[in-house]
C-alpha cells in the first residue's frame, strides 16, 4: 500500500478490547483500506494518549484515528501528538476539550444506566493501590450492548477490560486534536452508557460530520458495523 494511502487506527474504549472492531476491520479491508485495532491500556488519559500517539508516529503515511467511547478522548489526545494524524472519527464517544475529563464532559446530561452499574476493584499501582471499574455482569447487556444477541453479551460480560478511575476522571492536558483536524461522529440513539444527547452535543462542539445510528447501543461497532465502517471510509476518502 502506498505511504500516501491513509491507515485507519481503531482505538477501543472501556470494558472492551481490539476485537470489538473485527467487523469494521473486515469491511475496511474489503475496500482496500488498511486498518489496525490497537490495545488501549485504559490506565489514564495522558498515558493512553501518549501510547496511541507513539504507535501512530511509527506508521508510514497519514492516519485516520477512530475512537469508541473513552477511545474518543484518547484519539483527541493522540491526534495532537502525532503529526501524521489527519482525521478523527468518534463512535458513541465522549467529546472533551482541554481541561475537561470524560466524566466531566457528560455531567450536565441525564444520568445513564452505566452510572449505577459499575463495580470497583483494586489493583497495584506503584507502592500502593488504585481503583478500576467493570460493569456488573447481570446488567452488562442492557448497559453496553442491548442490540446484540444474548450469547454474544454473555461472553463479553465476563471478558471486560477494566478501566482505571484515572482514565475517566483525568482532564485532557493538551489542545484537542479536533480543533485542527476534520472530525466525523456516529451517535448511538439507544445508548445506555453515554447519553445520546451528550453525543449530539459533542458532535456539534467538534464541528463533526454526524450520522445517527437508530436503535444503536453503545456497542455499535459490533451491532452496526456497516454504518460505522461507512463513516470511517468517508473520513478516509476525504483525504484523497
Burial of 74 (0-12, 13-18, 19+ CB in 10 A): buried
Grid cell, residue 175, equals 489542545
Q: How many Å apart are CA 112 and CA 24, to the nearest integer?
A: 26
Q: How confident is the model at residue 3 (pLDDT cuts 50, 70, 90)?
A: low
16, 36 Cβ separation under 8 angstroms: no
Predicted TM-score of the model (pTM): 0.96
3 state DSSP class of 113:
helix
Assigned CATH class of 7-238: alpha beta
121, 134 Cβ separation under 8 angstroms: yes
Per-residue pLDDT averaged across 181-188, rounded? 98
Instruction: State the Cα angle at 194 between 188 and 195, rounded to 5°.
Output: 75
Give 168's Cβ-side CA count (13 Å radius): 21
What pLDDT score does 1 carry? 38
Grid cell, residue 75, equals 484519539
CB atoms within 10 A of CB 4: 10
Give whole-number Cα distances, 238 to 1, 8, 55, 88, in Å. 18, 13, 23, 11
Q: How far is CA 229 from the centre of its chain?
A: 14
pLDDT tens per residue, range 59-90:
999 999 999 999 999 999 999 999 999 999 99
Q: Report the percentage of the chain scoring pLDDT > 70.
A: 99
If we measure between CA atoms, which residue out of 104, 165, 111, 94 comes closest to residue 134? 165
Q: Which residue has the cell 474489503?
A: 30
Instruction: Please give the residue that has the higher pLDDT: either 4 or 163.
Output: 163
If we measure between CA atoms, which residue out of 220, 156, 170, 174 comes closest to residue 194? 220
Average pLDDT for the chain: 96
pLDDT tens per residue, range 105-139:
999 999 999 999 999 999 998 888 999 999 999 99
Per-residue pLDDT averaged across 144-167, rounded? 97
Grid cell, residue 130, equals 488504585
Q: How confident is the model at residue 212 (pLDDT cuts 50, 70, 90)?
A: very high
Amino acid at each position: 500500500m502506498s505511504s500516501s494511502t491513509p491507515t485507519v487506527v481503531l482505538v477501543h474504549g472501556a470494558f472492551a478490547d481490539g476485537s470489538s472492531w473485527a467487523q469494521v476491520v473486515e469491511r475496511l479491508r474489503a475496500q482496500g483500506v488498511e486498518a489496525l485495532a490497537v490495545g488501549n491500556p485504559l490506565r489514564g488519559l495522558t498515558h493512553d494518549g501518549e501510547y496511541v500517539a507513539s504507535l501512530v508516529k511509527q506508521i508510514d503515511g497519514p492516519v485516520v484515528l477512530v475512537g469508541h467511547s473513552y477511545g474518543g478522548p484518547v484519539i483527541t489526545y493522540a491526534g495532537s501528538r502525532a503529526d501524521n494524524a489527519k482525521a478523527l472519527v468518534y463512535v458513541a464517544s465522549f467529546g472533551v476539550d482541554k481541561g475537561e475529563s470524560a466524566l466531566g464532559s457528560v455531567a450536565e446530561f441525564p444520568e445513564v444506566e452505566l452510572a449505577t452499574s459499575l463495580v470497583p476493584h483494586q489493583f497495584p499501582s506503584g507502592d500502593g493501590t488504585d481503583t478500576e471499574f467493570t460493569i456488573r455482569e447481570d446488567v452488562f447487556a442492557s448497559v453496553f450492548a442491548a442490540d446484540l444477541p444474548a450469547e454474544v453479551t454473555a461472553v463479553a460480560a465476563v471478558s471486560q477490560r477494566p478501566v482505571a478511575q484515572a482514565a475517566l476522571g483525568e482532564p485532557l492536558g493538551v489542545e484537542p486534536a479536533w480543533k485542527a483536524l476534520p472530525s466525523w461522529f456516529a451517535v448511538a440513539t439507544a445508548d445506555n452508557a453515554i447519553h445520546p444527547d451528550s453525543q449530539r452535543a459533542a458532535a456539534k462542539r467538534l464541528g463533526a460530520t454526524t450520522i445517527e445510528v437508530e436503535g444503536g447501543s453503545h456497542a455499535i461497532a459490533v451491532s452496526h458495523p456497516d454504518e460505522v465502517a461507512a463513516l470511517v471510509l468517508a473520513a478516509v476518502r476525504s483525504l484523497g
